Amino acid sequence: MRTVDWTALRRRDAEPAAEGLRERKKRLLRRQLSDTATEMFMKRGFDAVRVSEIAAACGVSEKTVFNHFPTKESLVLDLGETTLGSLRTALADPDLSPVEAALKILSGELADLTSWLAGQHDLDQAKTMLLRFGMLIGSTPSLRAYQRDMADQQVAAAAEVLARRTGMSPDDPEPQIAATALLALWPIQFQALRRHLNRVRTPEQLHDVVSADVRRAAHLIDTGLTSLTPARPGS
């Protein structure tokens, strides 16, 4: 038996209010493929597992796997796509400043993680699993490259939204540097999680100290972004 249900940490797509049987089967298969792949990678290493093995473990063809996930890396690093969508939505909200929008997304992702920790029977084992997951990514060049590529896509998406908010072009230096600064908050949160994970006793304490670190960094960014205002006509 598993002492830690670590695959439950994987972010789940919300069940649509009106979902047909075909859509539901596709959504559940995508979840199964991602969870199975991640578990196999954690046990044997990313490079040691073939996509055909993941397909066989799920009772589908290799082609079916690639119909749901364009690359082997996306099987395990699918959260980046969720963050990408969240950025487009939150940054476009006129009631939120860019920093507030980024903090809203980060807070939700952190709450998901600490809630998962709180629900585990063996907290120490759960923490070990999280550290091992981080080590898997850090020790696998193709996963690191995929992360960098996803980060570039997130910066580009954020720059587009910020440009629309300010009447600028996404290629202008202001939305470019603003987007880059905002996306730098994600590594801050990851580093804070790794640093504090075994220094605090409860998931609630972990949430508080990580949030404090992220907000310190966000305050510094917010000071600079106060000058990001809509462009004047003809400027």
User: For the domain that residue 57 is a member of, what is the CATH number?
Assistant: 1.10.10.60
Residue 5 is predicted with a pLDDT of 55
Residue 2 is predicted with a pLDDT of 44
Same-domain status, 83 and 169: yes
User: What pLDDT digit, counting tens, does each position of 110-146 carry?
Assistant: 999 999 899 888 899 889 988 999 999 999 999 999 9
Q: What domain range includes position 186? A: 79-225
Number of folded domains in the chain?
A: 2
Same-domain status, 65 and 84: no
Residue 7 is predicted with a pLDDT of 58
Residues 6+ apart with CB under 8 A from 207: 110, 111, 114
Name residues of the chain where pLDDT drops below 70: 1-18, 227-235
Please give the distance of CA 13 from its chain centroid, rounded to a whole number: 13
Same-domain status, 115 and 158: yes
CATH number at residue 148: 1.10.357
Buried/exposed 195-211: b ≥16 CB within 10 Å, e otherwise: ebbeeeeebeebbeebb
Q: Is residue 25 part of a domain?
A: yes
Same-domain status, 47 and 86: no
Residue 80 is predicted with a pLDDT of 86
Q: Is residue 232 part of a domain?
A: no
Q: Is residue 181 part of a domain?
A: yes
Same-domain status, 38 and 111: no
Instruction: For residue 82, give the amino acid letter.
Output: T
Residue 1 is predicted with a pLDDT of 36
Residue 10 is predicted with a pLDDT of 56
**Which of 197, 186, 84 lies closest to 133 in space, CA to CA?**
197
